[in-house]
Structures are given as C-alpha cells and as structure tokens.
Amino acid sequence: MKKNILKINNLSITTKVNTNLYLVDSISFSVKEGKTTCIVGESGSGKSLTALSIIRLLSPQLKMSGEILFNNEDICKMSELEIRQKRGLDIAMIFQEPMTSLNPVLTIGYQIKEAITVHSDSPNNEINKKVEELLMLVGIPIERVNSYPDELSGGQRQRVMIAMAMSCNPNLLIADEPTTALDVTVQAQILKLLDDLKSKLNMSMLFITHDFGVVEDIADDVIVMFKGKIVERGVVNQVLKKPKHPYTKALLGCVPDALGKKQLTPIDYEKLDRAMQRI
C-alpha cells in the first residue's frame, strides 16, 4: 500500500458574499505517492478551484474550509510565509495557457533561474548549470536559454513551464489542463514528457483535464467532479470501462472515440437528474 502524499478531507469552497453557495462541496480524496490522479469534469465543476486551493492561490473573494494534508501537514493552517516556502519547492503547478503564465519581457533562462533562486542560496554558476540541466530534461536546446517566450512555439513554452515546475524537484505536481491549448502531436509529446519525469523523479501528479482520452493515457486514479461534488472515483480502467454513476456514464457518451463509429449521445439532463435522485 502506497503512502498518501496528499489527503483532502471535506474541502468546501464558497464565496465570501454568500457562504451558502458551494462551488466545491465537501470533497475528500487523496493522491498516492508516485501516482497520477486525474480530476475530470466540465467547466464549472470546481476542478480548477480544487487545484488552486491546494497551493492556496484561491481568489481572496473565496472562502475555503476543510483539511488539506500534504505529508500530514495541514496546508489550510499554514501561515502565508510557510505556504510560500512550500510553493514551488514541494508543490509545483503548471497552468493551461503557457503564454499568459510566462513573463514576455524576460528570457526563459532568467525565468527558470528565478524559480530556483527563490528556494536556494547556491552560487550563480551552480544555478546556471542547473538551468541547463533543466532545459535538457524537458528537451529544449540549451542555445534557447536567452530566448524570449514569444520566440518559442506553444509546446516549447509549455516545456519551459514544466522546467520551472521541476526546478526544485517537487513531491507533488499539479497540472491544470496543461495540454488543452496544444496541438495533438505536441500534446502527445508533453504527456509523454510529464509521465517520464514523474517516474524519473518519483513525483506524484494531480492532473486536471476534461479530455477522457488524456485521462486514459496518463492517469492511475480518476476522480469525476460534477457541480462541485465528486460523483465517482476509482482506478482508471474501472471508471472508464465500467462507470457506475449516471453522470460518468452520460459524460462518457459524449466523448468521440477514434476506433469505431460510436454514436455520440448528448447528455439528457432531465434523465440524468432523475437517475441521480434515485441514488
């Protein structure tokens, strides 16, 4: 039995204005060490809020309650200073849109270096060496170290984001739709890269996506979210092949598959409501 690196107990997120409006409604799950857990759901299901709450980057207008245990320490109880030391060092995050997450007026080398110097006092030449290692790790030629983000393609930018996230060998990597903005071929490369890095560095991953194809490729465990609640969870094959919850079934019916000519069935929300009430 693997150890849980992240354990979330009864996490709820509401707005400060209306504390009865649950954006995330008492969810509990855990991420096992060295494994990839995927959160799947439509927009508005609360998957990104869940991710942001783990590194405490929620908007100040939102209020969260519950327990987020990372290596048995409760992130919710940490001071601002403590969580800052965790961010990047122990928990790193990759965002969806690589262009908006990189600073357009700084070279990528500088930005990767910055990620390292926040958590380390090593001398300059060691850090420069580390930057080169990281670029090599994610497959960007070292000559590009002085390039600006706009000189890189979308896939390369996402690689830079991954290099920054890897800079301090985090235990947990949160990836919020890291391949949604990319072409399929590039997406396949990035997924492979993340999976390789995960095994090489013995990292755990919390991967957020709305694409069941991506889930099939990368996940060990899957969590399906709907309207702020977890409706189904389990090992990837079980959830995708033998879904139990009516919502998971309905959502899978919407996914086009590449193998055969499966009929697409849009979700019939009235039927879904009735099915969910029976549970």
Partner 1 sequence: MKKLLQTNNLSKTYVQTQGFFSRVRTNIHALDSVSFSINQGTTMAVVGESGSGKSTLAKSLVRLVKLDKGSVKFNGIDLLSLEGEKLKSVRKDIQMIFQDPYASLNPRLNILQIMEEPLLIHNYLDIDARRKKIEDFIERVGLSVSDLKKYPHQFSGGQRQRIGIARALILEPKLVICDEPVSALDVSVQAQILKLLKDLQKEFGLTYLFITHDLRIVRHVADDVMVMRHGKLVEEGKTDIIFKNPKNQYTKDLIQSIPGLISKRN
Q: Which residues contribute to the site for partner 1 (CB under 8 A)?
A: 42-43, 154, 183-188, 191-192, 195, 210-217, 250-251, 253-259, 261-262, 264-267
Task: Tell me the closest approach of the beta carbon of residue 39 to partner 1, in angstroms.
Answer: 14
3-state secondary structure of 232: strand
Task: Tell me the closest approach of the beta carbon of residue 33 to partner 1, in angstroms.
Answer: 17
Q: Which of 58, 76, 71 is nearest to 32 (CA)?
A: 71
Task: Tell me the closest approach of the beta carbon of residue 211 to partner 1, in angstroms.
Answer: 6
Task: Tell me the closest approach of the beta carbon of residue 260 to partner 1, in angstroms.
Answer: 8
Task: Tell me the closest approach of the beta carbon of residue 133 to partner 1, in angstroms.
Answer: 24
Task: Tell me the closest approach of the beta carbon of residue 120 to partner 1, in angstroms.
Answer: 32
Q: Between 114 and 217, whose beta carbon lies closer to partner 1?
A: 217
Q: Between 255 and 276, whose beta carbon lies closer to partner 1?
A: 255
Q: Are 68 and 11 in contact (CB under 8 A)?
A: yes
Q: Which of 24, 96, 26 is nearest to 62 (CA)?
A: 24
Q: Between 146 and 265, whose beta carbon lies closer to partner 1?
A: 265
CA separation for the pair 270, 164 (Å, rounded): 45
Give the largest Cα separation in the chain, rounded. Answer: 64
DSSP line for 91-130: EEEE-S-HHHHS-TTS-HHHHHHHHHHTT----HHHHHHH
DSSP β-bridge partners for residue 205: 36, 173
For tokens 């039995």, the residue is 1
Q: Between 1 and 184, whose beta carbon lies closer to partner 1?
A: 184
Token code pair at residue 228: 């702020």
Q: Between 16 and 192, whose beta carbon lies closer to partner 1?
A: 192
Q: Between 40 and 112, whose beta carbon lies closer to partner 1?
A: 40
